[in-house]
A and B are shown apart, each in its own frame.
Chain A
Amino acid sequence: MAHTPEPFFNTGPSPFVRLLFFALLSLAILILDARFRQLEAVRQVVSVVLFPLQRIAAAPVSLFERVSEFFVSHGELRAENARLVHDHGKSAILTHKNQALEAENAHLRKMLQAREQRKEPLTLAQVLYTGRDPFSQRIIIDKGTQHEVQNGQPVIDAAGVVGQVTRAYPLLAEVTLISDKGHLVPVLNVRSGLRSVLVGTGQHGALEMQFVQQNADVQKGDQLVTSGIDGVYAPGLPVAEVVSIETNPASTFSRVICRPLGGVGNHTRLFVVRGSEAMPPRPAEDAEKGARSRRGRKGG
């Protein structure tokens, strides 16, 4: 009885063994990707293969948009034209003023021997789709390393900062929105000059200003712009507006909720700011401390 007959049909390894094999393979990939970030090359290759499929999937919606754009009424077009002429006139005046200010600023900077502010080139990008991942606030745009989009570049729209490129593929890029949980933007309060850090809450339209003392000068309606301290975001880009301030006697800090000014979540066209300034490296011992308590760093 020691000999078991050959099975009539050879079915290969049992389903459980095969499951185990593929499960272990997935776990190995997961650990390599999440812990060591070793598989970016695989991701790049697969994303290039997937690109046409993604384009095909996005096609019906963009076709619908184009068709509905075609059937805009005459009245709407006239109203829009009138608004654009008005806006253009206003911005032309502002541009003249801005030119004068820029010249003056350059002159003053030269006198102070300060570093000149560089103008960053912009890339217009279209949003392919918005976050399908319920765990994070991300969007995919249709420009990638082929269009000189790199990791870490800020993404803005006409109203303000929207996010940052976190993963650049050859033909597309993944942008993490400023509302993504834990995403930091160093900001400056325009009215009071107070420096702070804005942290995403993971919800659309809500950012939290961290480490604001109870007695700090923050008011409802304050405008926050990027401070440019981290070297990622160019200084002076509008980011958010203070919506509510809650003070809790039990805590040292107040809870300041802000609303992003850039259309985080409802835009189709964005600009990627290429080539942000290279900052001199952070002093060694400070960097070590910073790495240990990144969340606790005040003022960027």
Chain B
Amino acid sequence: MINLYPGTPEEILKPVKTGFVVFTLVAAFLTNLLPWSGWGLLVRPDFVVLVLLYWCIDQPRKIGFAIPWFLGLLMDVADGRLLGEHALAYTIVAYAGIVLHRRVQRFSITPQVLHVVPLLLLNDVIVLLIRLLAGYGFPGYWYFMGSVVGALLWPALSYLLKLPQRPRLDPDHG
């Protein structure tokens, strides 16, 4: 199970496979590309930044900056936005994740969510600033909704993404 109490001994996990990291990022990208509409669109978190942030905190040496930047660029083209908008936001969020990873890793899941909320909001704010500078209007406060929903998905996400790392229970030493 998830280590809910800091101070209790941590479980020993298997190393992460690079293939799995790539798979989750592609899956997150595809989830973003789903034809969301109506309420779904309002509460839809940015899955790519969520998964990126997870890996930046969990495996800071695996992600680096080129991957977030490139994924951001792809997202910009897919959404028909200004080129570089998401690229910049993802890169900065990845940096924040890498810098904060030791701190965030020490916390249990609930305080981790509290760390993730501002990081996801940072992503929104960067995009918002770029758009305001480019002359677009403020879209309304529901614009930040996706990030809050995304942070609430964090416990489920970190459970799911850790699954392949958990060692199988040994029936002899159960």
Contacts and interface: CB of A to CB of B under 8 A. Distances in A.
Interface of A: 15-16, 18-19, 21-23, 25-30, 32-34, 39, 42-43, 46-47, 50, 53-54, 56-58, 60-61, 128-136, 138, 140, 167, 174, 181, 202
With most chain B CB atoms within 10 A of its CB, the pick from A57, A131, A167 is A57
Contacts of A54: 33, 78
Interface string B57-80: 000000011101100111001111
A134 B140 CA distance: 9
B99 interface: yes
Nearest to B91: A22
Contact of B29 (A46, A53, A129): A53
Interface of B is mostly: helix
A53 B74 CA distance: 11
Q: Which 9 A-B pairs have the closest CB atoms?
A: A57-B33, A29-B84, A26-B88, A30-B84, A129-B35, A33-B83, A134-B139, A26-B84, A19-B95
B82 A136 contact: no
A135 B129 CA distance: 12
Given A23-B88, A136-B136, A34 B82 contact: yes
Given A15-B95, A15-B98, A50-B77, A129 B85 contact: no
B23 interface: no
13 contacts: A19-B65, A23-B91, A26-B84, A29-B83, A29-B87, A50-B74, A50-B77, A56-B30, A132-B44, A132-B79, A135-B136, A135-B139, A174-B80
B87 to A, nearest CB: 4
A46 B83 CA distance: 11
A135 B37 contact: no
Nearest to B142: A134
Contacts of A18: 64-65
A202 B31 CA distance: 26
A16 B91 CA distance: 11
Given A15-B99, A22-B66, A174-B80, A135 B131 contact: yes
B81 interface: yes
B83 A43 contact: yes
Interface in B34-56: 34-37, 41, 44
Given A60-B34, A130-B35, A42 B137 contact: no
Contacts of A133: 79-81
Nearest to A173: B80
Contacts of A22: 65-66, 68-69, 87, 91
Contacts of A134: 139-140, 143
A33 B84 contact: yes
Interface of B: 29-37, 41, 44, 64-66, 68-69, 72-74, 77-85, 87-88, 91-92, 95, 98-99, 130-131, 134, 136-137, 139-140, 143
Given A27-B88, A58-B35, 19 more contacts: A19-B91, A22-B69, A25-B87, A29-B84, A29-B87, A32-B83, A46-B74, A46-B77, A47-B77, A50-B74, A53-B78, A57-B33, A60-B34, A61-B35, A130-B37, A130-B41, A133-B81, A135-B139, A181-B136
A53 to B, nearest CB: 6
A49 B8 CA distance: 48
Given A23-B92, A30-B85, A53-B30, A128 B65 contact: no
